[in-house]
Structure 1
Amino acid sequence: MRLFDFSLFLKRFPIKEAKEELRQISEVKDADYEAFLNSKKTEIVAYHLRNNPFYKNKVTNGFSDWESLPILTKQDFQIPLRERLSKGFSDKNIYTNKTSGSSGNPIRFAKDKFSHAITWAYHMERFGWYGIDFNSSLQARYYGIPLDSVENKTVRLKDFLAKRYRFSINDLSEKALDGMLNIYKQRPFEYINGYTSSIVLFAKYLKGKNIILKNVCPTLKVCIVTSEMLFEDDKKLLENQLGVPIVNEYGCSEAGVIAFTNPQGEWQVDSKTLFVEILDQADKPLPLGEKGRIVITSLHNKAHTFIRYEIGDYGALSEGSTFKKPILKTLVGRTNDFAILPSGKKAAGMTFYVITKKIMEESGNIQEFKVVQTEIDTFEINYVSLEELTEEKKTVILKTLEQFLEPGLTFKFQRKVQLDRSESGKLKQFVSLVEN
């Protein structure tokens, strides 16, 4: 029985029609794809200008051309959801969710039933590249789980319907990792899916035991990491210790999958349900290859407007991108992941996280860590390790960071048993507590 498809059908998400829509889009020829996208963009804007008072109020100068449309941000959505819905939509005929709040501005949002179905259909199509079928393939899942008993039971039921076994990422102790490995020996998992940091920590555990997971669980086909940055050295570690291809998924709650590693190793952007732009600070499109703000348009969501919506990330599209097959060249990080220093210099938090990571992991004893800016001139480096960092290693880190940033900064090292994660279980590698 196709239990996953059936569960969507019971919730009145038209998954069959959504899959057919994707099939038809796939048949649009490369030469015709720009015209197809322009038609879909015009169609969704016209719909919201007719039916969504919230969006009509935002488009004060009318719709003359695409670049005349406003850029929407999470701040624009800080009003009750009902005031943002299109005519004819209510709690009875929409899917609702909320963003994680990692940007500091969590929002509730809505999707119409077809839009949500096509998001799932696209997800299933991409996972299908690696032989994964949501109806039959057992997933090893590394996400957080609500502690509330009612929400916990709801999540467990969803996991059952979606063929998922959820590992607790709130406890990643040696004993817990031993238990995790035993479950892989007992169950025919076909794929791993979840937060990058938790899976990387498990891979480090496997390396310490000299174990390749594929040898323990031969049914395993692929590992799909999401929601957190995947660094090249971590990818190599995962490939070596899991023994399967590593897929990098990039997305957001509002839109679903934005980019997904294809079998050729390219980070392919969704051009079927989304239109993705890279803009400069003046809201102008940047040439392929140049880094800028990532702005998305949902081409099917009629219940709620996500037109030219800035999701809060920086990235660049590859020079080889086409309208039908855009490729994400790089993802720099979130727009709020920057450190403001005493001199006024602005430094990408993720960049000096990478520098610190390289030096710390040369010791071979660091399991994971995060950098927290507590004051404009003070940073905490919280880490989990088998042994305390030596003073020599700390000195190397301090000198390197001072060269990259500026002199006069204070760095405090704190060894932890376990790092703080968000309620969802996500590990944010760099956090600034200083108002920008």
Structure 2
Amino acid sequence: MNWREILYKSGAKKRNPSLYKHFNDLLSTDFSHRKELDMLQLERLQRFLIFAYNNSPWNAERMKRAGFNPSEDFSIEKFKKINPIGKEDLVQYNEKIQVGEEFFDKVFYCESSGTSGKVLTFKRDENWDSFNRAAQMRGYSWFGVNPWDFNIYFWGYNSNWKKKLKLRVLDFFVNRNRMFDYSETSLKSLRKKLKNAVFIEGYSSMIYEMAKLGLDQSHSLPNLKMIKGTSEKIFPHYQEVVKKAFGRKIISEYGAAEAGIIAFECPEGNMHITEEGVYVEQDENGEILVTNMLSYSFPIIRYRLGDSIKLADENFKCACGRSHRIIAEVTGRVGKIIVGFNKQYPSLTLYYIFKNIYFEKGLAIDYQATQNEKGKLIIRFLEKLDSKKEDLILEQAKIYFKDDIKIEFEQVASFRMEKGKLRDFISYIS
């Protein structure tokens, strides 16, 4: 045991006493059979719902309106009669959802804004927090990675020097090199540090940007075991560039602060749902609904996370041997609307336009779209497009928009007009 491992485990013992209990439990169910996982999930779901029914007034009302008492006549059919909720509900009814601190030994204050722009604050109890970290650790273990291994982290975009200093101290304890700005100079400064990195994680767009700088040194990265993208969509053409530069593809961790680690990609390339902690549904429109079965201090039940997903067929067997259900694809955010002269279109339309061009023509095009007025869409590019590419984009766009949207092209130096995660569509229309 080296000093880094000792430092990490001593810190974890103090902050998250139940971390390694959860981690060992998750390892014990890692290769459980499908029936065993179903039984475990139903048992945990019922226990969680009974607690929420008795201790979270707002959630109790939701269940009563559905004619559902989880302690009397529990079934998945009745559970699914509870009306789904969105982030705006968690914000508006925050105090009525929250469970009293007297039930828990320790709670952490959390904040999440996400792409919706709505700021959500809530209390996450130690058991919930530890499970979330343990779920991440289990995913790391699939690639032979330890949380105390040296890593490069694209996250924490912050200009406040006091907060930066606090994060620097935290990062020292977890052996992390965090990037606070994403300029080309800063990215190139990572050349030497990359040689010692065991894993890279963070915004997938920034991992891609780093790879594009021509850091073709996959042969000189003997320690690198995992590249993990989170919070942003991983586009197909990202993988080509990243694999060429670093010798590995970007694997996906899917989750949210309030929903927990929902799924983690295995070495075979499939995103396995953390069924020991979350119950995942897909509604009739393809949108994900999440129930976090560890969120006792702030019960998250049938929550619309805001993503459109595709679940793999239930009979699909992953070559890795795990039986956990699989999310085949997170296709993107729902709810963001492109406004035409006469109709409205989901912003996911942009994803399909450029995906079609990539798979049909083999052209990888980085883009960001903005809309300031009805019927007009500005698509921004980092490179100057030739007439052939412009025609291809207009041709694909016409399939979806017909003549309802006027498209203009614009070349820019950067897509990062705002801090935090990169968004492929920004609307300034109310």
Q: Structure 1: where are the runs of 5+ without partners? A: 282-291
**Scaled by the length of structure 2, what TM-score is found?**
0.86
Q: How does 1:237-276 map to 2 (within 5 A)?
A: 237-276=241-280
Q: Measure how far apart 1:275 and its partner are.
A: 0.9
Q: Which stretch has the larger CA shift, 330-339 or 394-403?
A: 394-403
Q: Secondary structure at the match of 2:130?
A: helix
- The verdict on how the C-alpha distance between 1:356 and 1:232 changes in structure 2, with shifts beyond 3 A counting, is closer
Provide Cα deviations, 1:17-42, integer angstroms capped at 9, x if missing partner.
32243245447543233222111111
Asked whether 1:63 is paired with 2:68, we answer yes
Which whole-Å deviations, capped at 9, do the CAs of 1:153-196 have from their partners, x for residues lacking one? 2221221111111124432x3x34432324425xx101110111
What is the CA deviation profile of residues 339-396 of structure 1, one whole-angstrom value per residue up to 9, with x for unaligned ones? 23223242x4233245347769989896x431112222111122223xx334554344
- For normalisation by structure 1, the TM-score amounts to 0.85
CA separation of 1:237/1:320 partners in 2, compared to 1, >3 Å: closer, same or farther?
farther
The aligned counterpart of 2:41 is: 37
For residue 9 of structure 2, what is the aligned residue in structure 1?
Answer: 5
> Which amino acid is the alignment partner of residue 204 of structure 1?
K
Q: 2: CA distance between counterparts of 1:221 and 1:73?
A: 37
Aligned-pair CA distance for 1:226 = 1.3
Q: Which amino acid aligns with 1:423?
A: K
Residues of 2 paired with 1:356 and 1:72: CA distance? 31
Query: 1:272 & 1:329 partners in 2: Cα distance?
Result: 19
Q: How does 1:189-204 map to 2 (within 5 A)?
A: 189-204=197-212
- Correspondence for 2:173: 161
Tell me by how many angstroms 1:11 deviates: 2.2
Corresponding residue of 1:144: 156
The residue aligned with 2:425 is: 430
Offset of residue 203 of structure 1: 1.6
Aligned counterparts of 1:82 and 1:150: Cα–Cα separation in 2: 30
- Aligned match of 1:284: none
What is the SS of the residue equivalent to 1:119?
helix
- The secondary structure found in structure 1 opposite 2:92 is coil
For each residue in 1:54-75, what CA deviation from the matched residue of structure 2 results, as whole angstroms up to 9, or x when unmatched?
Answer: 3223323342521222312112
Q: What is the CA–CA distance in structure 1 between the aligned matches of 2:249 and 2:429, rounded to whole Å? A: 39
Counterparts of 1:84 and 1:267 in 2: how far apart (Å)?
30
Report if aligned partners of 1:350, 1:430 keep a CA contact under 8 Å in 2.
Answer: no
Where does 1:17-166 land on structure 2 (aligned, <5 Å)?
17-26=21-30, 29-61=33-65, 62-64=67-69, 65-79=78-92, 81-89=94-102, 93-135=106-148, 137-166=149-178
> Are residues 1:307 and 2:301 paired?
yes
1:430 Cα shift? 1.6
1:178 corresponds to which residue?
A: 188
Question: For 1:68, what is the secondary structure of its paired residue?
Answer: coil
2:400 aligned residue: 404
Runs (5+) with no aligned partner, structure 2: 70-77, 317-321
> How far apart are 1:149 and its partner, in Å?
1.9
Q: Is the CA contact 2:16–2:130 (under 8 Å) kept in the aligned structure 1?
A: no
Identity %: 21
Alignment partners' CA distance in 2, 1:240 and 1:369: 21
SS of the aligned residue for 1:407 comes to: coil
Q: List structure 1 runs of 4+ shifted beyond 6 angstroms.
A: 360-366
C-alpha displacement at 1:197, in angstroms?
Answer: 0.8
Distance 2:252 2:205 in 1: 13
Matches within 5 A, 1:216-295: 216-280=220-284, 292-295=286-289
1:287 counterpart residue number: none
User: Structure 1, residues 112-144: CA drift from partner, whole Å, max 9, x if none?
Assistant: 101100110110011111111012x11111123
Post-superposition offset of 1:326:
0.4
Partners of 2:395 and 2:326 lie apart in 1 by 37
- Hey, what does 2:342 align to over in structure 1? 343
Measured in 2, the distance between the counterparts of 1:261 and 1:98 equals 26
Distance 1:45 1:90 in 2: 15
Residue 40 of structure 2 contacts residue 276 of structure 2 at CA under 8 Å; is this kept in 1? no
Q: Which amino acid aligns with 2:427?
A: S
Give SS of 1:39's match: helix
Q: Secondary structure at the match of 1:403?
A: helix
User: 1:265 and 1:236, CA in 2 relative to 1: closer, same or farther beyond 3 A?
Assistant: same
Report the Cα distance in structure 2 between the residues aligned to 1:122 and 1:167, rounded to whole angstroms.
24
Q: How many residues align?
A: 411
Residue in structure 1 matched with residue 75 of structure 2 by the alignment: none
Change (3 A) 1:22 1:213: same
- Report the aligned-residue RMSD: 2.8
* Matched AA of 1:427: L
Cα distance change of structure 1 residues 143 and 51 upon mapping to structure 2, 3 Å threshold = same
1:383-412 Cα distance to aligned partner (Å, 9 max, x none) = 223xx3345543443343223312153223
